[in-house]
Amino acid sequence: MRASFVLFAYLTCFTATSAFAQWQWIDEYGRNTYSDRPPPTHIPEKNILKAPAWAHTVSPATLPKADIPAEPVVTPPPASNEVTPQDLQQQKQEAARQAAEEKQRKEAQAKLLQQRQENCNRAQAALRTLQADVPLAQIGPDGQRTTMSDLQRQQDIRRVQEVMARDCGPLPKD
């Protein structure tokens, strides 16, 4: 009997009953909050779900200010599916930037295609001229007119064919 009394006294002395949450309330964001201190004064009485027995005689609003912890008011981050006006503005700016980049890219590609087509047309005309069986003349650095040799003609045909291979085919992949 004495051992059970000692055990009971021992357990009673060393049990921290004040460490258990005595207050329970719903905060302004709809979350359940548990604490050993009373809720902040801005929490309405209807949101207090559980209070210690002594709290029925003293409401949290009547407690001294030193007993009520100063809790910072934290604005919760917007839910992932909420779109703020700043988000909309950023999305519009990003879309406009991407559209401008796409327009510039298409204009540059169109200009490149036009240059390639002009080069191809000139190279095809030059090839037809070089392959014709007519003598071709060149004007030398001294201003004198000379006839193109067969070796020069073959070199120019190869050079024109290289230009045609580069500019008359499809665009190379990046």
Mind listing the pLDDT tens digit for each residue in 108-147?
989 988 888 888 898 898 889 888 888 888 887 888 888 8
Global pTM?
A: 0.43
For residue 78, being part of any structural domain is answered with no
Picking from 67, 94, 117, the residue at the C-terminal end of a domain is 67
For residue 105, being part of any structural domain is answered with yes
Q: Are residues 61 and 9 in the same domain?
A: yes
d(CA 113, CA 171): 8
For residue 76, being part of any structural domain is answered with no
For residue 160, being part of any structural domain is answered with yes
Q: Is the pLDDT reported for residue 156 higher than 50?
A: yes
Q: Are residues 107 and 53 in the same domain?
A: no
Q: Are residues 48 and 15 in the same domain?
A: yes
pLDDT of residue 76: 61
Q: Are residues 93 and 160 in the same domain?
A: yes
d(CA 27, CA 33): 7
Cα–Cα–Cα angle for 63, 64, 69, nearest 5°?
A: 90
Q: Are residues 56 and 27 in the same domain?
A: yes
Q: Are 19 and 29 in contact (CB under 8 A)?
A: no
Q: Are residues 58 and 123 in the same domain?
A: no
* 2 or 135, higher pLDDT: 135
pLDDT, tens digit, 9 for 90 and up, residues 14-42: 655 545 558 888 988 888 888 888 888 88
Q: Is the pLDDT reported for residue 66 higher than 80?
A: no
Tokens for 98?
């991407």
Q: Are 62 and 54 in contact (CB under 8 A)?
A: no
> What percent of the chain lies above the pLDDT cut of 90?
15
Number of domains present in the structure of the chain? 2
Q: Are residues 109 and 51 in the same domain?
A: no
For residue 174, being part of any structural domain is answered with no
Q: Which domain holds residue 17?
A: 2-67
| Residues in CB range of 61: below 8 A, 6 or more apart | 41
pLDDT of residue 97: 94
For residue 10, being part of any structural domain is answered with yes
User: 52-81 burial by CB neighbour count: b if 16+ within 10 A, else e?
Assistant: eeeeeeeebeeeeeeeeeeeeeeeeeeeee
pLDDT of residue 159: 92
Determine phi and psi for 109, rounding to 5 degrees.
-65, -40
Q: Are residues 154 and 91 in the same domain?
A: yes
For residue 38, being part of any structural domain is answered with yes
For residue 46, being part of any structural domain is answered with yes
Q: Kindly tell me the number of DSSP H helices and DSSP E strands found in the chain.
A: 3, 5
Q: Are residues 157 and 114 in the same domain?
A: yes
Q: Are residues 129 and 92 in the same domain?
A: yes
d(CA 153, CA 62): 108
* 72 or 26, higher pLDDT: 26
Q: What is the mean pLDDT of the chain?
A: 79
**Rounded to whole angstroms, what are the CA distances from 147 to 3, 124, 131, 134?**
130, 22, 15, 11
